[in-house]
Chains A and B, each alone.
Chain A
Amino acid sequence: AQKITQTQPGMFVQEKEAVTLDCTYDTSDPSYGLFWYKQPSSGEMIFLIYQGSYDQQNATEGRYSLNFQKARKSANLVISASQLGDSAMYFCAMREGLRGYQKVTFGIGTKLQVIP
């Protein structure tokens, strides 16, 4: 089974609107964490947000928030007030295991295009 599933190959959003990028995960490890990374066309991977499996509240970082639904095993990224610079690939990733051993598995990504 896929550990990280991103079912939206591409998404469009109007500038200034909010958008949700979907991510579901599969693990039997009680200690895990979910990440979202942004990859612009330049290729670098930019860390956006992190949610630990024991965190009680959804993570937020500026315009980014992570909608964590543990029972559904989903960790969707919400981008509010989209900007043209948000156009990029977005990857969901999962960490499993204890601190110091960080096996991270990435999804195949979602390409977001922001329309003026």
Chain B
Amino acid sequence: DGGITQSPKYLFRKEGQNVTLSCEQNLNHDAMYWYRQDPGQGLRLIYYSQIVNDFQKGDIAEGYSVSREKKESFPLTVTSAQKNPTAFYLCASSTTATYEQYFGPGTRLTVT
């Protein structure tokens, strides 16, 4: 079955540590996205990538970094510079032919 996988579902880290969230898709989609969701909030765009080896900052990129070395993979690193990293992180992908974004199951990151 085609889809988007994110691992792990729950992640716990100590403050000051970098952590990388995985996102893999086998939908052959060109574009991939990372969103952050806080309680009672909508989704906010962190980074997006339309093609391999290219990515753009979204609305809240500070303290985050990404890479897009393969079409299928778009990992997100939450660095120690991110002041409030505890949140629910969602990865999505889309084609350039249609508009809807397909989402992964999300990773809930808790930093203490």
By a beta-carbon cutoff of 8 Å, the part of chain A in contact with chain B is: 4, 33, 35, 37, 42-47, 50, 52, 91, 93, 95, 99-104, 106-109
Q: Closest residue to A109 on the B side, CB-wise?
A: B42
By a beta-carbon cutoff of 8 Å, the part of chain B in contact with chain A is: 31, 33, 35, 40-45, 50, 88, 90, 92, 94, 96-97, 99-106, 108
Residues on B with C-beta less than 8 A from A4 are: 42
Whether the Cβ atoms of B99 and A50 lie closer than 8 Å is: yes
Whether the Cβ atoms of A100 and B96 lie closer than 8 Å is: yes
Whether the Cβ atoms of A47 and B108 lie closer than 8 Å is: no
Cα-based distance from A52 to B99 in the complex (angstroms): 9
Cα-based distance from A91 to B33 in the complex (angstroms): 17
Whether the Cβ atoms of B92 and A45 lie closer than 8 Å is: yes
Cα-based distance from A109 to B88 in the complex (angstroms): 15
